[in-house]
Each structure stands twice: as structure tokens, then as C-alpha cells.
Structure 1
Amino acid sequence: MNQWLKAALPAAILLSTNLAHAEGDFKRWSVSAGWMHVMPQGKANPFNVNTSVAEGTNAKIGNITRESFLSTLDPNQVRDNNKNQTVYDRAVWLLDNKTFTNLVYDSATGEIKASNTGSAQINGLESWQNAGTGLEADDVDTLGLTLSYYVNDNVSLQLIGGLPPKVDIQGKGEIVANMTGIASPAGNVQSLVNKQLNLIKDIPITNLGNKSKASSVRAWTPAIEAQYQFGKSGVNKFRPYVGVGLMYAHFSNIKLDSQIGADLVAAGHMIQNIHDGQAGAALDGKTSSANPFVRVKTTDAIAPIVSVGATYDINQNWYGIASVSYAKLNNQANIDVIDANNGNKLIHSSTKIDIDPIITYLGVGYRF
């Protein structure tokens, strides 16, 4: 019996050592490269817009063109002393009556004189939300890269990255300011039309939806995951895995569509003209005393990410990999129109961008 024990004990020790070595016989590191396709699933969220024109601001109108003057009048308002005639119809009568041409119009500009327009209390420009507007990210392809460290044969940590792609951002809808107010005209307009004029006008700011793209950005979206891989190295060529982790998103090189930028600069002039006591010039789209420029910024974000995938061993070192991931990712875009003369913020707008990408990856890797 003792001889059997003496013979069996070394064999048992040798066997257990070999088994332990077999369980630890895996590569600690792996890298892969391949095609990454990103498909954002999020939908546009409405823009929230604020300007420096406070609710109820009283501004002088100054000179204004006939077309802009008439376009602001409430077509349903009737005159105080003649309920059978609208203010609009009476204003047309006055402006087209040659008897009053020299009294109403500025002979140098052909505009209605400031001495007739008076002032107006303006509402609706301080803040508003435009339903049906927003931004959505386009699909994009890029080079994907992964680096994995295996804690053991089944558990690993994977860093996911790649070449930061240029992403086109699509605009939705039209930004429109719904202005209302009450004008207190002077001169001939007051005496021959009405003492007060109800104002109502939808002022188009910019159309986001009729451009090929509203902007473009460079997206930096590295992620790290803890992954569990089923099967065993050297035994199973096909090994599915699941992963969960975090994605960090940063966006740089933001370029706004040139026409949208020009529209926002014009809107900045409109706001400054109101502050300058030239509300008529604001409606006529004239330049102001300001020097507006547009600044666009986006916030960074951290989001959870989950993945399912599989590897297939080509040989001991080389393997193929395929995966599908989803990240619950969103951030915020802020667009400001600022007067370069003094740093005053004329317009601030913001929107939440739901990106929520589904990411597919197909690549080839090497273990070492």
C-alpha cells in the first residue's frame, strides 16, 4: 500500500500541476482593428431660445418700410371710432393716399417717418420654444480599434476606440419668433388710423430643415467595458461574450452651416436694433450698432454602454471579432449670438441631442 502511495502521489502532483497550467494557458492581451458603423437612434428635441429683449420692453420704432409696418398689424383689430373698419384697412388707406405722402413718408428713404411710428411694447422675444425643431446625428463609418486585458480566460477589460469620425448633424424645422405687442403711434398714424395698434408677427429666424446639414463635428467617443467570454481558450474556437461599461463623448471642430450662421447674425442685429430704439429697422433686417458673431458649443457626456459579440479563433494568435453595442448617450448644444463690441449675449439657444447609438463592429485581432 505504501508503495502504491509513493508511486501515486508524484503522479497526482504532476497531474494537478498540468491541469493548473492548462487553466492558465491563455493570452493576457489582445488588439483588434476593423470596420465600425455607428447608427444614432435619437430623435430631435425642440430648441429653447432666449434673447436680451425682456418681455414688455418699450422701444421706439423709428423709420420703417410700408411693407414691414403693415405686416405687423393685427388684421382683425377694428378702429376705436369706426367698428366697421379694420385698423389694417385704414392704415392702407393712409399710406396709399397721395394727399398725405409728404406727411407720412421720409422723402430721402421712402420709409414711414419716425414722427409717425411712435413706440411699441414688445412681447414674445424674451424666451420661447420651437416645436418640431432640433438636431439629429447622421450614421457614420470609421476605423475601430480595441485593446483587451484578460484577467483570466473568461473575464477581460476592453478599451474601445478608433479614428474619431466627422459626423454630419441634420437640422429639423424652422426657428420662428412669435412677436406680439401694442404700438402707440404718433402724428398722422395716431390721428388718422388709431391711437393703439395691436401687433402680431411671426418672425422667421432660420430654417434648419432645408439645408443638406446644419453642422458637422468631430466625435471622440472612447469606451471601456468589463466583458465575460464564454467557452475556453484552445477548446472553443467560437466564443460569444457580453460586456458592460461606460462611454465618454467629446465633440470638437464644430462647423455651422454658413447660411444658418448668417441668419443668426442677422437675428443678432434685429435684437440690437430694438435696444437702439430702431424697432422698424429690426423688422426691415437692417444692420445695427452691434458686431454679432455666433459661438457654438456642445457639452461632454458619459453614458452607459452594453455589448454582445463573439470571437472566432483563426489560429492560436489570430481571431475574428464581431459585436453590437448600444450606448444611452445624449448631450446639449448651445448656440449663442454675441456682440463682439462689448461681449453682450444677444441670443442664447439650446437643445438636447439624443444620440443613443447602435454600434456594429467587425474586425480582426491578434492575441499576445
Structure 2
Amino acid sequence: MKKSVLCIAASMAALPMLSHADSPYFSLKDGDGFKRFSVSVGALHVMPQGKAQPFHVDTSVKNGETAKVGDISIDAVKANMDPAMDPNISTWFVGLLDKLGTSTLPAGLSGTAEINGLQSWDNQGTGLEADDVTTLGIMTNYFFTDNISLEMKAGIPPEVDLNGKGKIYAPFAAIATPELGIIDLPEIAMKNSLLITDLEAYGPAASARAWTPAAEIQYHFGKTGVNKFRPYVGLGVMYAYFNELEMNPQIEKDLIAAGHMIANIKEGNAGASLEGKPSKANPKVDLEATDAFAPVATVGFTYDFNDKWFAVGSVSYAHLQNETTITVTDATHGELIKSKADIEVNPILAYAGIGMRF
């Protein structure tokens, strides 16, 4: 009798293991026979969290550089006089010419100007911010053990809009010395913030195609064949590469005009710079973005439909920042303007897909 009871008890104890081994869900034993490879595809939604960082601008006009003014309209002289300047004979003379209906101060009278402010400056309140984007994600895993895997994240590189923030101004200042034959005229102080472009006025300021592969070591909780729902965590690195960079045509046009402004000063026509007249130069605009590496962390889960097919969802965060450089150059004058800004991307990446193990 005791033997029979022990046999029945042993049989009942073994029943769960036998039924699990023959389960239609997984024909695997606990912890044995896990599949080492998996791949999934799904929707990858990227939500950048970074804030716009200010543009820093350098030009080829050094502080204290002296240039001929050339022909300049009376209106341009009046519009760019320093409001804090006390009136003198020179300003009176300009006012007299204006009252007499003279529209232009000729090169023979305008003299020279010592220019400041254009060598280097920061544009606070400006910058670029990456927009949200959705693309097709592809995730592949190689499992070293049932719990530890190496995941490679990839996908179709999306085109990302870069939205501009703020207006870029050039802090122009000059001391102009008019000429009137043998008479030494007093200096005219000039000071103005010259609008270069409005980064928010024309839609996205630029766009780029983003390649952001990543690799992670992940830890998966639970066991194959036991837990359908298995949460996991991961830590790794992302590489970001940007190409097909394009600038908004209207902003590019504004930057070409700024290139003419600098070229006019270099060519001895500083007055034409204040009037927005074209120079003899042929400015070209180029946009570049640096590559970057970023740490990435992930929390996610898988849900097994059977031993082959599963659903997956995850949320990742990458601390990603790169630098954008805009240059305006000319074959004769070389580099006229260089402007740089950091782009804080810092994206949250939400992924949902269907996968297969093999």
C-alpha cells in the first residue's frame, strides 16, 4: 500500500514536467534548447528631446579692420547711425544733403570706416531642433545564454527635419571718417543689428538623412518555454551619421546675401553692405554635420505566441549631440562666413514589432 501511494505521488509530481515537455506551446525543457537568433521588424518612432543651442558666427572681417565706404545712400547712413552718438558737423552735413534732396553720399566724400563686431559673435535664442520622425525598425539578437543577448538596432534611415529657432543678427559697428577736401570732418559712429535671416519664417530650416545603428547588451528576465512575457533591459552605444543635408532655399538665399555683405567690405564697398547690394563675389553655401557616438539604454519586453513567433515593444533613450557647420565661401575671397551650432538630439525611441526566432 505504501509502495502504491509513493508510486502515485511520484507519478503526480512528474506529471507537470512531462506535460510541459510535450506542451504544444514549447516542446522544450526548462532552460534547454533556447533559440540563439531572433529578428524583428516594426514601427520605430523617434522623439528628440534636445533644446536649440545658439549659433556661433565667425566672418573674415576682423575687429578694427578699415575699409573704404564707397558710394552709400543718405538713407543708409541715417538708418545705421549710433543712436547714442552726439550730433556733430558730419551728421549735420548728412542731414543737409538729405534736405537738399541728395540721395547718395559719393565715394569721394564717404571716406573710410573702422569696422567692429563682425569678427565673431553668438546668437542667443537661435539654433536647430530635430523633429519627430517614424521609420521601419529592424532589431536582431544573438543569445549567448537564455538571458543574455547582443542586439543590433537598425532600420530604414529617415529624413529628419531640422526646425530653426530665432533670428540671426550681425552686430555691426563702425567709426566712419568722412572726407571733404582739406577739411577734417568729425567721425560718425555707426551701430546696428543687421538681420541676416529668420530661421522660423520659412518652414524647416534644413533636413538630413539620419543613419543611427546601435548595439546593446541585453538581459532578459524569465526562461524560454516557461515565461511567455519576458521583460528585458539593455545598455549599449549608438553611432549617428548624417548625409543628404539640404538647407531651406530661402535661408540659403539670405546667407548668400550675407556673403555679399562681407565680400563688399573686403572689396572696399562697405556702404553697399548696409544697402544689401550684391558684390563681385559669387558666394556658395555649404551645410555639414559631424558624426557622433552616444550611450543608449533600453527597457522592453517580448511576448511569445509560440516557440518561433513573438511580439516586442521597447523604449530607448540615447544621449546624442552633434555639431552643424554652415560655411559661406567664394572662389576669390575664400571663407567669408562660418557658423556653428550644437544640435542636442537626445532622442526617446519607441519601438513595437513582430519577431521570429530561429
Q: Report if aligned partners of 2:327, 2:339 keep a CA contact under 8 Å in 1.
A: yes
Unaligned stretches of 5+ residues in structure 1 = 1-14, 82-86
Quote the residue 2:304 is aligned against.
Answer: 313
Taking the aligned partners of 2:231 and 2:84, their CA distance within structure 1 comes to 70
Alignment length (residue pairs): 333
CA contact (8 A) 1:171 1:211 kept: no
Distance in 1, Cα, partners of 2:157 & 2:297 = 20
Scaled by the length of structure 1, what TM-score is found? 0.87
Matched-pair contact (CA < 8 Å) for 1:183–1:196: yes
SS at match of 2:104: coil
Quick one: which amino acid aligns to residue 297 of structure 2? V
Residue 12 of structure 1: aligned partner: none
Give the Å deviation of 1:343: 6.6
**Superposition pairs of residues 184-203 of structure 1, within 5 angstroms:** 184-187=177-180, 194-203=185-194
Q: CA deviation at 1:95?
A: 2.0
Alignment counterpart, residue 302 of structure 1, candidates 293, 300, 311: 293
Q: Assess if the C-alpha contact under 8 Å between 1:24 and 1:152 holds in 2.
A: no
Q: How many Å apart are 1:184 and its aligned residue?
A: 0.4
Mapped pair 1:130 → 2:123: yes
Which residue pairs with 2:97 in the alignment? 95
Aligned partner of 1:147 in structure 2 is 140
Give the CA RMSD over aligned residues. 2.0
- Per the alignment, residue 172 of structure 1 pairs with 165
Q: Once the 2 structures are TM-superposed, how far is the Cα of residue 92 of structure 1 from its aligned partner?
A: 5.3
Equivalent pairs: percent with the same residue? Answer: 48
Structure 1 distance, partners of 2:342, 2:94, is 45
- How far the C-alpha of 1:115 sits from its partner, in A, is 1.2
| Structure 1 partner of 2:49 | 41
Give the Cα separation in 1 of the matches to 2:281 and 2:202.
Answer: 27
Corresponding position: 1:366 with 2:356: yes
- Deviation track 1:284-306 (CA, whole Å, cap 9, x = no partner) reads 11111211100110000000000
Supply the distance in 1 between the matched residues of 2:198 and 2:40 (Cα, whole angstroms).
43
Mapped partners of 2:55, 2:235: distance in 1: 33
Q: For the Cα contact (< 8 Å) 2:174–2:190, is it kept in 1?
A: yes
Q: 1:366: how far off?
A: 0.2
Deviation digits for residues 144-163 of structure 1 (CA, Å, limit 9, x no counterpart): 10010000100000000101
Q: 2:223 aligns with which of 232, 241, 262?
A: 232
CA distance in 1 between counterparts of 2:74 and 2:260 reads: 20
Partners of 1:246 and 1:43 in 2: how far apart? 22
Q: Unmatched 5+ residue regions in structure 2? A: 1-16, 22-27
- Which residue pairs with 1:356 in the alignment? 346
Q: Which amino acid aligns with 1:182?
A: I
Residues 304, 310 of structure 2: 8 Å contact kept: yes
1:73 lines up with 2:64 in the alignment: no
Alignment CA distance shift 1:343-1:301 (3 Å): farther
